[in-house]
Amino acid sequence: MNLEIALKKASNILKSKNIHSHELDAQVILSDLMGVEKEYLITNEEKKISKEIISKYISAIKRRKNREPVAYILGKKEFWSHDFLVNSNTLVPRVETELLIYKIINFYRNKKIKILDIGTGSGCILLTILKELPLSEGIGIDISSGAIDIAKLNSKNLSLEKRSNFIISDIDKCNDSIKYDLIVSNPPYIPTASIKNLSKDITKYEPLIALDGGIDGLDLIKKIIYKSKNLLKKGGLLAFEIGYNQYPKVSRILNENKFKEMGKECDYKQNVRCIISTKLD
């Protein structure tokens, strides 16, 4: 079978399952299996594919047909131009989360800071910031031991083992004796009742603990704000991601807890998705 036919067949199978990204998914999976860029597939349509790759491609497309995210099928996801290992214990890093990174690295460029990442998952936020701030160090905590295993592997792959530490811990048990310049988080913030409305790609495969933010979606966000009062150094920053409609409520909670907003970032629909604040006293 040549590349053109393999791609068309796979794309049609995924299209028949109403997977909107059918063409792109077929290309991304095949290019990864072949170890080539996507563009190569398009400019080499007549090239024959080995039996070994075809059999791997068939099983990968079967998984995608069942709505498994491409990132889990490939075992990795690109975030801020780095490849992060992911599996069913970790959320797939999202493009919105990169919004958080821009502001932070501009603010702290060339500085030496201590960072805490709450709900670190694959470690994508902490490790990306550490790559951009080579003098800094940080700790990532997560309640999921499976996620911490993956974060440690990502730290090793990015040669950040000396400047990062990953610990299995519930935010409730976070050690107050260490103080941080920066606390970052992409917490679970989906209201429990809304989870069933998410796409099957998410609900069937991504860890519920990474999504479910309790009745109003704000359970972990509230804890992060309360905890940060004791965990931040004077003048330190708290930066975290929120759901598309949570800004008014979260802004009020920050105010009530004596945090001053220093900046916010919106997604392409102009919803505030990331808030950066500092403790007033």
When asked if residue 147 is in the footprint of ligand SAM (CB under 6 A), the reply is: yes
Of the pair 133, 141, the CB lying nearest ligand SAM is at 141
User: Do 111 and 133 contact (CB within 8 A), yes or no?
Assistant: yes
Q: Minimal distance in Å, beta carbon 180 to ligand SAM?
A: 15
Residues in the chain: 281
Point out which span in 22-30, 118-126, 227-235, 249-257 binds ligand SAM (CB under 6 A).
118-126
Q: Minimal distance in Å, beta carbon 181 to ligand SAM?
A: 19
In our burial notation (b when 16+ CB lie closer than 10 A, e otherwise), range 56-88 reads: bbeebbeebbebbbbbbbbebbebbebebbbbe
Q: Minimal distance in Å, beta carbon 136 to ligand SAM?
A: 17
- 176, two tokens: 């107050």
Q: Minimal distance in Å, beta carbon 163 to ligand SAM?
A: 17
- Name which position in 120, 154, 155, 164 contacts ligand SAM (CB under 6 A): 120
- Name which position in 97, 128, 164, 277 contacts ligand SAM (CB under 6 A): 97
- Name which position in 26, 28, 71, 124 contacts ligand SAM (CB under 6 A): 124
User: Do 238 and 205 contact (CB within 8 A), yes or no?
Assistant: no
Q: Minimal distance in Å, beta carbon 27 to ligand SAM?
A: 24
Of the pair 121, 217, the CB lying nearest ligand SAM is at 121
DSSP state of 195: G
User: Do 164 and 116 contact (CB within 8 A), yes or no?
Assistant: no
When asked if residue 119 is in the footprint of ligand SAM (CB under 6 A), the reply is: yes
Nearest 5 degrees, angle CA 210-CA 93-CA 191? 35
Chain-centroid distance of CA 236 in Å reads 23
Query: Binding-site residue total for ligand SAM (CB under 6 A)?
Result: 22
When asked if residue 121 is in the footprint of ligand SAM (CB under 6 A), the reply is: yes
When asked if residue 220 is in the footprint of ligand SAM (CB under 6 A), the reply is: yes
Q: How far is CA 92 from CA 12, 30, 49, 191, 213, in A?
A: 25, 20, 29, 19, 17
When asked if residue 143 is in the footprint of ligand SAM (CB under 6 A), the reply is: yes
Residue 229 neighbours by CB distance under 10 Å = 14
C-alpha 237/C-alpha 217 separation (Å) is 22
Using CB under 6 A as the criterion, what x/- string covers residues 165-204 for binding ligand SAM?
A: -----xx--------------xxx----------------
Three-state secondary structure string covering 264-276: EEECCCCCEEEEE
- Name which position in 144, 154, 246, 277 contacts ligand SAM (CB under 6 A): 144
Of the pair 142, 265, the CB lying nearest ligand SAM is at 142
User: In the complex, which residues of this chain contact ligand SAM (CB under 6 A)?
Assistant: 91, 93, 97, 119-122, 124-125, 141-144, 147, 170-171, 186-188, 209-210, 220
